Structure 1
Amino acid sequence: MTLTRTEFDVLRIFTMNEPVLHAPQVAHATDLPPEMVEETLDTLTHDGFISSGRVTQKGAEALEPYRVDSAVILATDLYPRFAPISYEEPKGLLKVRGEILIERQIEQLQAAGITNITIAVGYKQECFFYLSAKYEVKLLVNHEYAERDNGWTLWLARELLGNTYLCPSDDYFAANPFERYVYKAYHASVYVEGSTDEWCLGTDGGERIVSASIGGHDSWVTQGHAYFDRAFSERFIPLLGQALMQSENESKPWESIYAENLSSLDMEIRRYSSDIIHEFNSLEELEEFEPGFVSHVSSPILDNITQVLSCFRADIHGFLPVSQGLTNLSFRFSVNGQEYVYRHPGIGTDKFIDRDAETQANTVAHRLGVDRTFLYEDSKQGWKICRFVRNARNLDPLDPTQVKRAMELCRSFHESGARINATFDFFGNGVSYESLLEGHGAINISGYYELREKVARISAHASGDGYPPCFSHNDYLPLNFLIDEQNGMDVIDWEFAGMSDPGNDFATFVICSQYDEGKAEEALSYYFGGTPTFLERRHFWAMVVLGGWCWYVWALEKDAEGAGVGEWESIYKSYAVDYVDRVLTWYEEGE
């Protein structure tokens, strides 16, 4: 039998209370009019669902389709907006008001009788493993958490979805929002006054959600958990799968796919007071909820800042994530009116970056005036603090004036005579990355070894061209240039620096600017201050091939580590594949 909403609400109340309830108590608990409660109680009693003030076996059977089967807690994300704390520890494992956020949620679910709980993990997944033994929960790993959003996580969890709670791991519920029986699919929501960049919900004359869009003002927004009933899950899972099979949807959150299919997905809004569901989008918001949090939270990053800048934690404000690079995590902050950037080493970077060499390179670049932003780097742990350049812009690779400056600048530090105790050879480093890659298993990529053999021949030819190693950046791409409001130019991020072939910086610049042959030749003429000779062109184009191969293998290894670089993998590869035969011909047959 299908229960009406009113019958369900009244019957559910009787499962939650041991003492016999009377109509006024039920009306108070359900917010239903007393006369409606009286009428519903008569119906439920007449139909045999309630007897002597208690739920009968028949009543329990009627409630069974509404019983919550399971819960999936989403704990895959890095939460970059919560820098710097989330760089050190998953946000869901923070202790807030004396309780670990995800543990509090698990205990609230279990208190509601929901014991089939799965934790979906990704970022720093090993930090969550203890929960399996402590609470007898299951773990589901999303190995692609860095490239794909929670839509993919739900797809991995699709067989777990029925009557299921879906919960962010990092929310703090002041009161337990979970129930053993739920009538219909819903999304929790709180009202936000003013502008917001959250998902804003609109409803029909009842509570069904009929619109969902990011951003708005004076709106009910998604916050906290969602509940999928079985009908919703059965309808949503195929739609989710169809969407994720399209490349443009691979990184979409589940909410976007839901919003695109509102007409065929029946979900209600469930409104909560803002003092029940607490969502912390920044360290400042959590500090407001728990004054003193920043002062007592365990954070080596905050300790590093206080030591380098001779300040107190209370002096540090304005944490903002910086657009993430391919290897590291960075955030911006201010101390006593001055702005800085903290660079946190990314996952697996210790395997292929010599932080001692990077520290030497940063020091040299600062001394040469090439990087005026550098302040301090820890050569053992790899973290770094620099000055933040307000209103800086990156180099525009399509602006000939800027490209000319960049080529002249790299030639100047190539010829500076500066030295550091590190080398960087495209082919040699590529072979090192290859060894790391093979640690994950055999390289079964069509054409890989044929390309490698040709690249090895080019490396041997180029080594005989007689170019002495010089101080080089080796990651000389437009995003690593900062141009300030006075048009001053700084080159940052020297983690791949070493004594290298002078063609390395030109090659990386060409590849990462995605230049065609004409643009590359123009940049080469800027480097040489005129038209290069055939031998110069041959050598520097050899470096383009070697650089493309080196960064391609590096990208493959990053992907194997679970921190892939997306489309850049194919871009790097293309510069090796597209030019390898021509350069070999130049060396082996002549111009």
Structure 2
Amino acid sequence: MNKQESDILNALLLEPFINQRVLAEVSGHSLGVVNRSLKELIKAGYLNEAICPTAKAVLEYKNKTPKRAIILAAGFGMRMVPINTEMPKGLLEVNGEPLIERIIKQLHEVGIQEVYVVVGFMKEKYEYLMDEYGVELVVNPDYAAKNNLHSLRLVKEHLENAYIVPCDIWCDRNPFHRHELYSWYMVSDLVENESNVRVNRKMELVTVPENAGGNAMVGISYLIKEDADTVSNRIEELCKKPQYDGSFWEEALYNKDRMIVAARVVHSADVVEINTYEQLREIDSDSNQLKTDAIRLICKALCAKPEEVTDITVLKKGMTNRSFLFTCKDKKYIMRIPGEGTDQLINRRQEAAVYHAIADKNICDDIAYINPDNGYKITEFLEGARVCDPTDYEDVKKCMSRLRDFHALKLKVAHEFDIFGQMEFYETLWDGTPSVYKDYEKTKANVWSLKPYIDAHVGEKILTHIDAVPDNFLFVQKDRKEEIRLIDWEYAGMQDPHVDIAMFCIYSLYNKRQVDRLIAAYFTDGCDDATRIKIYCYIAACGLLWSNWCEYKRNLGVEFGEYSLRQYRYAKDYYRIVQDELKKSGESGAQENA
């Protein structure tokens, strides 16, 4: 049976045949399609001459009837800033009802009780669904690093005769049915540039060029056994390839230039995907989730009304924080919201003291608000700004000149950033969990053996940025002149300023040749051997410092991929480099680890 024949048979299984016109109205197909389909269905043995379903049709009906559903609810919902800092997207409320509860109730209405919910971010908040609605929670431990293709892999044995549903959907009408006869994927009649499929005359979903415009992808799908097996196998194949870590599960539906399932088209007003704060505000201006701390704070700090906070857009997720861009009173701002576990890592009062120390020095971005208690910060958006490219030596030289000028101010604050103390502190945050690295204790002992050399060669300690990495150097145009602003002072404190050089290197993942080139860019009059070796020591120490930091964040479900591994390698490799350099200079012995 093709799609049209299936639609017409499904209509006849639900209601007795009256005439072709009624059947056309119920099925949504033309009289011509209805007449052709009736002939084919009689010929295939699904209908008898009285246009009544046969035993063969009833069997087909039973074999393809929906049995279960999978709700995908593991992701951060990054576009839902600032709500996603307080609530997972599936629990957003529309008209007082959480999205996921509405979905589950609609599934129950058509007799589907077997419901699997794949969770990850704030998974504990979904726990009550098990008692209240009898669902089964499936935890995706990789939700932070991989997209929902990997969530669906965890439940791929349940795809047969199953609905697949994203948790951030609000459906005015129940999109589920007691009976289905074919697989489909739901799109709306709305055209949007983000979609990469469109519906053709055969009701197939075919791919379109990027930004060419297609039917908005709703994300709800239904799979019968044959297609479920294909999708399951395809998911397994794709998940083995790292390039698909960031892919949506729909990737498994494609066969060359089209999906293997038919299109189900709905009116855009009947099904709404709620991806952003403003979409939620549009559909329910009284939703409890709109009353977030972040929005209240913005309104208070900028003397604005909630409706004046518009154009909310998520920025790239930082390693410590989540930030979003917004417009208020025709001016753009960035709001920083501390990320998971940040309260353990950063003293916000010390950070506020740093901003006070640099307030009139034209060094950082323009601060509109900072809260020394919770770390919330609002800064003016620098239009047209770009970050330093660590592979562009001209960029690097300019940044080192800016850094050198900052260090020359010799600013003071009341607190110090203790590299080795912080290294130990991050380790305590593991709560007794051993390091993931087999030789951690040896590596740690080697790095600590460098401390005497560092202490012997430290000069005057001054306010040091600590996180002076390429992404924190902003190139901006002011009065037709290029300026460089240094942002994100969370870790700043009193320290040897040469630590900033080491930090730039390890964040940029520099090799030794690039490290030496950076040192030359900072020390334009040349760098003595003792200082160079000290910077190598800092690279080893800071590598282990951030490796320990990454291990703490990993325990919170936040992964940093290559960055984490490379930091540990810096600890090991630069310990050896220091030993080689000390032997060359005749200072070997005391600094070597026995």
Normalised TM-score (structure 2): 0.89
Aligned equivalents of 1:138 and 1:236: distance in 2? 22
* 1:165-222, Cα deviation, whole Å (9 max, x unpaired): 11111111121110122111111112334x511232354x6233343665322x3342
Aligned equivalents of 1:159 and 1:107: distance in 2? 23
Aligned equivalents of 1:482 and 1:148: distance in 2? 29
Q: Name the residue aligned to 1:71.
A: 69
Which stretch shifts more, 539-548 or 123-132? 123-132
Question: Are 2:184 and 2:223, in contact at CA under 8 Å, matched by a contact in 1?
Answer: yes
SS in 1 for 2:104: helix
Question: Are 2:96 and 2:288, in contact at CA under 8 Å, matched by a contact in 1?
Answer: no
Aligned equivalents of 1:518 and 1:44: distance in 2? 75
Question: Are 1:366 and 1:372, in contact at CA under 8 Å, matched by a contact in 2?
Answer: no
Q: Name the residue aligned to 1:285.
A: 279
> Within 5 A, what are the aligned runs for 1:491-530?
491-530=486-525
Which stretch shifts more, 145-154 or 310-319? 310-319
> Which of 297, 313, 324 matches 2:317?
324
Question: Are 1:415 and 1:470, in contact at CA under 8 Å, matched by a contact in 2?
Answer: no
Aligned equivalents of 1:538 and 1:178: distance in 2? 67
Aligned equivalents of 1:397 and 1:553: distance in 2? 24
Q: Name the residue aligned to 1:482.
A: 474
> Which of 177, 201, 210 matches 2:198?
201
Deviation at residue 438 of structure 1 after TM alignment: 5.1
Aligned equivalents of 1:471 and 1:260: distance in 2? 58
Identity of aligned residues (%): 26
Aligned equivalents of 2:516 and 2:24: distance in 1? 81
* 1:54-74, Cα deviation, whole Å (9 max, x unpaired): x89886544221111211111
Question: Are 2:165 and 2:220, in contact at CA under 8 Å, matched by a contact in 1?
Answer: yes
> Which of 565, 571, 590 matches 2:587?
590
1:97 partner letter:
N
SS in 1 for 2:388: coil
Q: Name the residue aligned to 1:409.
A: 402
SS in 1 for 2:195: strand
* 1:4-36, Cα deviation, whole Å (9 max, x unpaired): 86775456446656xx77446555422454757
> Within 5 A, what are the aligned runs for 1:68-467?
68-193=66-191, 196-203=193-200, 206-211=202-207, 214-217=210-213, 219-259=214-254, 266-290=260-284, 292-293=285-286, 297-437=290-430, 439=432, 441-467=433-459
1:371–1:26 distance in 2 versus 1, CA, 3 Å: same
State whether structure 2 residue 535 is matched by structure 1 residue 540: yes
Aligned equivalents of 1:44 and 1:4: distance in 2? 13
* 1:481-518, Cα deviation, whole Å (9 max, x unpaired): 11111311111111111222322211011112233333
Aligned equivalents of 2:457 and 2:500: distance in 1? 17
1:389–1:490 distance in 2 versus 1, CA, 3 Å: same
1:21–1:111 distance in 2 versus 1, CA, 3 Å: farther
SS in 2 for 1:356: helix
Question: Are 1:188 and 1:224, in contact at CA under 8 Å, matched by a contact in 2?
Answer: yes
SS in 2 for 1:333: strand
Q: Name the residue aligned to 2:592.
A: none
Question: Are 1:200 and 1:214, in contact at CA under 8 Å, matched by a contact in 2?
Answer: no
Aligned equivalents of 1:445 and 1:528: distance in 2? 35
SS in 2 for 1:437: coil
Deviation at residue 396 of structure 1 after TM alignment: 2.8
Question: Are 2:501 and 2:519, in contact at CA under 8 Å, matched by a contact in 1?
Answer: yes
1:272–1:581 distance in 2 versus 1, CA, 3 Å: same
2:461 partner letter:
P
Question: Are 2:349 and 2:373, in contact at CA under 8 Å, matched by a contact in 1?
Answer: yes
Unaligned runs of 5+ in 1: none
Question: Are 2:93 and 2:99, in contact at CA under 8 Å, matched by a contact in 1?
Answer: yes
Aligned equivalents of 1:296 and 1:555: distance in 2? 31
Q: Name the residue aligned to 2:591.
A: none
Deviation at residue 380 of structure 1 after TM alignment: 1.8
1:196 partner letter:
N
Aligned equivalents of 2:36 and 2:410: distance in 1? 89
Aligned equivalents of 2:50 and 2:558: distance in 1? 58
Aligned equivalents of 2:558 and 2:289: distance in 1? 31
RMSD: 2.9
1:401–1:5 distance in 2 versus 1, CA, 3 Å: closer
Question: Are 1:507 and 1:544, in contact at CA under 8 Å, matched by a contact in 2?
Answer: yes
Unaligned runs of 5+ in 2: 589-594
Deviation at residue 405 of structure 1 after TM alignment: 3.8
SS in 1 for 2:316: coil
Matched positions, count: 577
Question: Are 1:201 and 1:222, in contact at CA under 8 Å, matched by a contact in 2?
Answer: no
1:10–1:520 distance in 2 versus 1, CA, 3 Å: closer
